[in-house]
Structure 1
């Protein structure tokens, strides 16, 4: 399809990520807290994975799902933040079209995978509270492995077509991407073609993946709350609610900014672009940083082993000195 204007059609070889437009003078300082959050993300999620994988007593469904979430968080942040820091600190915004598509693919895959993992964790809490006698029979390691495979397969099948859709586009406008990382609609808007199919496909994925997951999670917690408030003892009710507390915090941190960002981009025309861009950057930084902190602080078994790890490290340091 030929462009409607007289611009020359070209195949994109290199894009240039511009960072957050309107804040160029502050890029160096903005990157400092971003770098700190990334370091905390790497350390927190890696420590969480190490503890869960090395402690056999934590090889239970809930903790295995937490380890899956940690892997998705590491993938999301590592796919975006190093390039983000290079843009802010070194103005190294150049990125090839192939690398841009690859980054976009892993960003969206990790995002949809996190949503599916949160749904699996809601199902885990539902079985643990509503069907406690069947818990070990329903959530075996084999079943959890199949659920993990389903998470990866679903994410791949929904996101991989985006690469083919983007490769069909013709580009005749600027190759400047006003962002710090590549995402689907950011690339599509640079094309001369009609991108209606991209808009509708993105909306379909949002509804069928993120929206459906959110509805099923809400349904699970509705059934959980009904079961909890039927318990005869107040202590039993509080104990059941505490087992869901950390998961509910993570759900709110994941879905609240996602829905806010979606509505802001569609209806928040009065919001300055640099604010939306900054929020998009924080979205790939804050949840991956806070998730291991939430689980480490609110889950007694994990907190106990984190303290043991630091205690052993301190003892070794004192012996060496």
Structure 2
């Protein structure tokens, strides 16, 4: 019996719950410390950008609107998601602490996937906001109210909590009697449940449920929303008005592309062809971290409304200091 199995807690003759797992990501990558420096830069800028945006929306009362409630939720999700992932990556690989206890591994998996799910559905809510603004402009302010958006946000968080919690909870029924090396840079669900020795059919089904919930269904809803928007814009006689309405959607479309395309590309490539584990890990790392950095820059910090609010806030601070 090897040392890994000896370290496990044996509940009965067939069920083995390991004390620890071993994260095997970023192995044999040349000059990997430069990549860690890049990740550190991404994390610092993500924290600064999203914290600044959250502070501006909170402090400037003119931004206390349904639209910026959604932006606030996205910035908070980006901040929490990056904090759940990147510091632990540094601790694991930069300081070579690759062993992670069983309970911490499940928590790690839960928080990474939970915030990814909330981020995905927040992008759907943004698409819904654009759809109503363009297709039903006269009824927009009656439909999109603060209580409605607050209810939608709470529902997204609760549903994500239930589904991702169920996914993480189902790991607890698995027996790990063989290898305890997770071929990923964090406790990812797929690489983890495939290490199990007993029946993992429910986990396989749950993996599909989560992929559909986080990637497929939100993307389908966003595409349907923009089909409706395009149909509505085609009925506008003036090309200038059509372009002006479409321009309000470009930032959101960029966010959707940044979030969904790398996720879809990675998953399709894994299913249809062979990818070197290190290439997959590097791509997955950027897929989980870059959107959180770019979201506040693309969608909010460059918009005229937010820039005016920032200038107004800075002016008020200067006047208080005089």
The residue number in structure 2 matching 1:4 is: none
After superposition, give the CA deviation of every residue in 1:150-201 in whole Å (9 maximum; x if it has no partner).
1011101211112221001111122222322111112112211232322222
The residue number in structure 2 matching 1:12 is: 18
Shift of residue 8, structure 1, vs aligned partner: 8.8
For the 8 Å contact 1:19–1:87, the answer to whether it is kept is no
TM-score (norm 2): 0.89
After superposition, give the CA deviation of every residue in 1:208-239 in whole Å (9 maximum; x if it has no partner).
45212211111111111121232222222122
Paired with 1:278 and 1:308, the residues of 2 have a C-alpha distance of: 41
C-alpha change, 1:84 and 1:209, in structure 2 (3 Å) is closer
Paired with 1:9 and 1:229, the residues of 2 have a C-alpha distance of: 61
The residue number in structure 1 matching 2:268 is: 263
The residue number in structure 2 matching 1:110 is: 115
In the alignment, structure 1 residue 159 sits paired with structure 2 residue 155: no
In the alignment, structure 1 residue 68 sits paired with structure 2 residue 73: yes
The residue number in structure 2 matching 1:170 is: 175
Q: What are the equivalent positions in structure 2 for 1:1-321 lying under 5 Å apart?
A: 10-23=16-29, 25-269=30-274, 271-306=275-310
Shift of residue 78, structure 1, vs aligned partner: 0.6
Paired with 1:150 and 1:281, the residues of 2 have a C-alpha distance of: 28
After superposition, give the CA deviation of every residue in 1:62-81 in whole Å (9 maximum; x if it has no partner).
21111111111112111110
For the 8 Å contact 1:27–1:89, the answer to whether it is kept is no
For the 8 Å contact 1:165–1:198, the answer to whether it is kept is yes
Paired with 2:315 and 2:104, the residues of 1 have a C-alpha distance of: 42
* Equivalent position SS for 2:197: coil
* Equivalent position SS for 1:16: strand
Moved more, 205-214 or 47-56: 205-214
The residue number in structure 2 matching 1:3 is: none
Paired with 1:300 and 1:19, the residues of 2 have a C-alpha distance of: 42
Q: What is the RMSD computed on CA atoms of the aligned residues?
A: 2.2
C-alpha change, 1:307 and 1:186, in structure 2 (3 Å) is farther
- Provide structure 2 residue ranges, at least 5 long, that are not aligned to the other structure: 1-12
- Provide structure 1 residue ranges, at least 5 long, that are not aligned to the other structure: 1-6
Shift of residue 297, structure 1, vs aligned partner: 4.9
* Equivalent position SS for 1:15: strand
Runs (4 or more) in structure 1 with deviation over 4 Å come to 307-313
Paired with 2:35 and 2:110, the residues of 1 have a C-alpha distance of: 26
- How many correspondences in the alignment? 309
Paired with 2:71 and 2:54, the residues of 1 have a C-alpha distance of: 8
C-alpha change, 1:33 and 1:208, in structure 2 (3 Å) is closer
